[in-house]
Amino acid sequence: MHEDRSCSNCGMDLEESDGELCKHCVREERDELRAATDPEVTAARNIHGGTDIEIDHDAKCAEGSEGLWVAAWVWVSNTDVGVRGND
């Protein structure tokens, strides 16, 4: 029997192999996230930074095999939100 399940933390759809949490949340629970270092934040800002993307000086990051993921803030304006719920 197939049953649609979602992550109990973020609500993302779970894969067959997942438990109660998605892979992202499991990783976070294991505390594999750490604060990014200054060079890491600088690199992230140089590559991705702009008016619509901001990265905290102590942004959380998760290490991968050839780099790392750095958490960022992405801007959504009231107008953008209105597009979704406008009636």
Indicate whether 14 belongs to the interface with Zn ion (CB under 5 A). Answer: no
Alpha carbon separation from 5 to 16, 17, 69, 86 (Å, rounded): 9, 11, 26, 30
Q: How far is the CB of 39 from Zn ion (least distance, A)?
A: 29
Cβ distance to Zn ion smaller for residue 11 or 67: 11
- The binder of Zn ion chosen from 6, 10, 52, 56 (CB under 5 A): 10
Site for Zn ion in 16-75 (CB under 5 A): 22, 25
Cα gap 58→21, rounded to integer Å: 25
